[in-house]
Chains A and B, each alone.
Chain A
Amino acid sequence: MVMKKKRKNISYAKWGYIFILPFFVSFFIFSCIPLVDTIKYSFFEYYRSGIKEVGPNFIGLTNYIELIKSDMVLYGANTLILWIIGFVPQIVIALVLAAWFTDARLKIKGLQFFKVVIYLPNLIMASAFALLFFTMFSTGGPINSILLSLGVIDKAIDFTGSVFGVRSLIGFMNFLMWFGNTTIMLMAAVMGISVEVFEASDIDGCNRIQRFFYVTLPQIRPILAYTLITSIIGGLQMFDVPQILTNGKGSPDRTSMTLIMFLNNHLKSKNYGMGGALSVYLFIISGILCAIVYKMTNDDDPDGSKAAAKARKKEQRKNRRAK
């Protein structure tokens, strides 16, 4: 009997390997090999000049040093700023909406309609969205045309001509595209909190705001962390919107040039060496960022699932006790 069971386990283990094989093969071919290749060429001088290829010549860390001396750090800062401009309103509005949507006393009419509408922008391809914004906010575009005819302004505003304008537009687009998604996720998390907790807080005389800060927020901490992480990863990869809006220039004065746009410039000039080094930097940055967030939210609980499970169990215990 014992023997049999053991044999059974071993034979099943084989299936485990088989089932996860496609994933790892695909990952190995399409991610590992390219990654190694990228890292390798980051130590070479290797680019195309016109229609002639130069290199590859081994040059050690030169590419890395060149990049540090370039404006890379500045583009990192741009990326961070653009991300914050989009993320802060996104998370604030999403939290407020999530609280409202789950508050039965507000009797919101057309809840389903609002949910559908605010999620809509998330589905639109960023490139089309950016192109749409570009045409709408051009000096002769519909927005200026409307504002002029309403008499709000008496001279067309050059939205894409100022640092403030471009950054706000990018932030606004990112906000519009993501706040619906975040709202619905947070809402689900809030709905996951048991009704008794809210009722208890009501009995304790909590007002809406107190309840939000002392009950809701702590309860949805794991999902907040999840949102933060996914948003940071997304922010680091920010590309489509500023690329299309500024036609790859990051204008004005390269203040809306993100790291990936910078990478794209090198890829476009077929500068494999420099592009490789930049990729390695990006890889390291994303690793560090995520490590920080993991640490910040929960030790040894990268996805927040354990915290959520713990919270759920605690609730259950509480509920049982209440009963």
Chain B
Amino acid sequence: MKKKVISMLLVATTAATMFAGCGKEAGTTGANGTESAGAAVDAGDEGKIINIYCWNDEFRTRVEAVYDKVESTSDDGTITYLTDGCEIHWIVNPNQDGVYQDKLDQALLNQADAAADDKVDIFLSETDYVFKYTDKDADVAMPLADLGIDVDKDLADQYDFTKTTASDSDGVQRGSTWQACPGVLAYRRDIAIDAFGTDDPVEIEAKFKDWATAKESAEELKAAGYYTFASYADTFRLYGNSISQSWVEAGSTTVTVDQQIMNWINDSKEWKDAGYFDPTVKGQWNDDWNKAMGSESKVFAFLFPAWGIDFTMKPNWDGENGAWAVTNPPLEYNWGGSYVHAATGTDNIAHAKDIILQLTANEDNLKKISETTSDFTNDKSAMAELAQRDTFESDMLGTQNPFAYFAPVAEGIKIAPLSAYDQGCVELIQNSFSDYFQGEVDFDKAKANFETAIMERYPDITEVVWPE
């Protein structure tokens, strides 16, 4: 039996090497409008299959929209055919509960032994766990310089915080993103008029200029029969982004809970008990949360970056176009950001370089993404230009130009100190205190539950320190 398996494997690998190597055509890039794009792809000695690990189809749609070598994508969305004869294979696993990372880790651990066409070539990571993959000792994401990308020149127009985020402890950049995710407050115009008598973004901004004022406005909304936000999880990023120390310091096995997180817990409990949140919604990314974005819902606002408006709210909104507006949130924040990495050991270095440059550093491409999807892309000059426009057309926001709000926030973003444990910490603290907000457990029990859960998720964590 075993012999048979091995011989089958041998056959498979030989076949793979035989078929490797794409058409010679490849050559020059089509739409290289700027100096940064268009490294000629010499695919002659590269593998035919480019495996990209990601957690949804967002990156795929971006690639389809702007990558000039895309020919077509299969109906089921698993394979994108390129004009040079290569294929991008999309390996999609859900992000929640660590499934995506689990599968990716497994693949990266097998990277050295995997057949050329089974190797991870490109993978994506989120701000919450980008640190785990840019770690210089783990060395699973290639330094961009090794791909032939000049970080200072080719990526000059990217927002600095995105470059810092994707760099290891020595400052070597190991990933790049097409989006910066400055957050705004997105609210329903009809509810604003009903509760405040105005839907003007400037006046709404004044009503949510800090947490104290926001609380008074929440009371007004409540009096008019509305909820300010859907759930306590919605406000988390505003606090979570301004923590002063990382969850786990480098080399330490102690989780340190920041005072800002405690503020979130206390404020959320207060808001929850006061009835400012929709009581049917628990956390995010579930059906009830989605329903809260519908026209029947009584929820006034969501705290979202650009992708949230287009990618999350739009599919759930069943009312008229242009019913929503954006304004500045009580606290500047940044949420998400998908980083593109070339995996160490890839056999598609030229393609990886090409894709990273075209998707994250080509001004024309990025502008195109922003114009079609309202996503806030990682290009300072393009965003500055968009922010100047008087009007902007989008389904959700009508003619309001959201970039006027995004751009200034993006300039000022200071990324919170990161650690490789962030996703687990963020997810589990929300889970554990969810019970506390619901009144199922008391404060100390919720703390204890967080400690148990975090140590289960990360066996090397030995201690959790709470602020006084």
Q: Does B273 contact A (CB under 8 A)?
A: no
Q: B283-316: contact bitstring with A at CB < 8 Å (1 yes, 0 no)? A: 0001110010000000000000000000000000
Neighbouring A residues of B458 by C-beta, 8 Å: 49, 269
Chain A: interface size category: 20 to 34
| Contact status A140-B457, CB under 8 Å | no
Q: Does A70 contact B (CB under 8 A)?
A: yes
Chain B: interface size category: 35 or more
Neighbouring A residues of B132 by C-beta, 8 Å: 50-51
Once the chains are docked, how many angstroms separate the CA of A50 from the CA of B461?
12
Once the chains are docked, how many angstroms separate the CA of A87 from the CA of B378?
58
B441 and chain A: residue at smallest CB distance:
A253
B456 and chain A: residue at smallest CB distance:
A265
Smallest CB separation, B218 vs chain A (Å):
20
Neighbouring B residues of A247 by C-beta, 8 Å: 96-97
CB proximity to A under 8 Å, residues B438-468: 438, 440-441, 445, 449, 452, 456-460
CB proximity to B under 8 Å, residues A153-181: 156, 158, 161-163
Q: Does A266 contact B (CB under 8 A)?
A: yes
Contact of A269 among B108, B282, B286, B459 (CB under 8 A): B459
| Contact status B286-A251, CB under 8 Å | no
Smallest CB separation, A30 vs chain B (Å):
13
Once the chains are docked, how many angstroms separate the CA of A294 from the CA of B317?
60
Neighbouring B residues of A140 by C-beta, 8 Å: 280, 287-288, 291
| Contact status A50-B138, CB under 8 Å | yes
B294 and chain A: residue at smallest CB distance:
A140
Q: Does B109 contact A (CB under 8 A)?
A: yes
User: Known: A70-B452, A253-B441, A254-B449. Contact between A139 and B460, CB under 8 A?
Assistant: no
User: Known: A51-B105, A247-B97. Contact between A138 and B287, CB under 8 A?
Assistant: yes
| Contact status B286-A161, CB under 8 Å | no
Q: Does A47 contact B (CB under 8 A)?
A: yes
Q: A46-85: contact bitstring with B at CB < 8 Å (1 yes, 0 no)? A: 0111111010000000000000001100000000000000
User: Known: A51-B105, A51-B132, A249-B431. Contact between A269 and B456, CB under 8 A?
Assistant: yes
| Contact status B459-A253, CB under 8 Å | no
Once the chains are docked, how many angstroms separate the CA of A156 from the CA of B298?
14
Neighbouring A residues of B280 by C-beta, 8 Å: 139-140, 156, 158
B138 and chain A: residue at smallest CB distance:
A51
CB proximity to B under 8 Å, residues A36-54: 47-52, 54
| Contact status A49-B460, CB under 8 Å | yes
| Contact status B138-A52, CB under 8 Å | yes
Secondary structure class of chain B's binding surface, majority of residues: helix
Smallest CB separation, A51 vs chain B (Å):
5
Smallest CB separation, A215 vs chain B (Å):
48
User: Known: A138-B286, A138-B288, A274-B459. Contact between A254 and B102, CB under 8 A?
Assistant: no
Secondary structure class of chain A's binding surface, majority of residues: loop
Neighbouring A residues of B431 by C-beta, 8 Å: 249, 251
A271 and chain B: residue at smallest CB distance:
B459
| Contact status B460-A253, CB under 8 Å | no
Once the chains are docked, how many angstroms separate the CA of A139 from the CA of B96?
21
Q: Does A298 contact B (CB under 8 A)?
A: no
Smallest CB separation, A210 vs chain B (Å):
46
B104 and chain A: residue at smallest CB distance:
A51
Neighbouring B residues of A163 by C-beta, 8 Å: 440
User: Known: A140-B291, A269-B459. Contact between A51 and B109, CB under 8 A?
Assistant: yes
| Contact status A253-B291, CB under 8 Å | no
| Contact status A71-B441, CB under 8 Å | no
| Contact status A51-B140, CB under 8 Å | yes
Once the chains are docked, how many angstroms separate the CA of A135 from the CA of B287?
8
| Contact status B440-A162, CB under 8 Å | yes
User: Known: A158-B280, A251-B435, A268-B98. Contact between A50 and B452, CB under 8 A?
Assistant: no
A274 and chain B: residue at smallest CB distance:
B459
Q: A236-276: contact bitstring with B at CB < 8 Å (1 yes, 0 no)? A: 00000000000111011110000000000110110100100
| Contact status A248-B97, CB under 8 Å | yes
Q: Does B434 contact A (CB under 8 A)?
A: yes
Q: Does B192 contact A (CB under 8 A)?
A: no
Neighbouring A residues of B457 by C-beta, 8 Å: 265, 269
B253 and chain A: residue at smallest CB distance:
A49
B108 and chain A: residue at smallest CB distance:
A51
Q: Does B420 contact A (CB under 8 A)?
A: yes
Once the chains are docked, how many angstroms separate the CA of A51 from the CA of B288?
35
| Those 10 A-B pairs whose CB atoms lie nearest each other, nearest first | A139-B280, A47-B459, A252-B440, A49-B460, A252-B435, A271-B459, A140-B291, A253-B441, A265-B456, A253-B435
Apart from the given pairs A49-B459, A70-B452, A252-B441, 19 other A-B contacts in the complex at a CB distance below 8 Å = A49-B460, A51-B108, A51-B133, A51-B138, A135-B287, A139-B281, A139-B282, A139-B288, A140-B287, A158-B280, A161-B440, A249-B431, A251-B435, A253-B445, A253-B449, A254-B452, A268-B98, A269-B456, A274-B459
Would you mind naming 14 contact pairs between A and B with Cβ atoms under 8 Å apart?
A47-B459, A49-B460, A51-B133, A138-B287, A158-B280, A158-B438, A161-B438, A162-B440, A249-B431, A251-B434, A252-B441, A254-B449, A265-B457, A269-B456
Interface residues of A (CB under 8 A from B): 47-52, 54, 70-71, 135, 138-141, 156, 158, 161-163, 247-249, 251-254, 265-266, 268-269, 271, 274
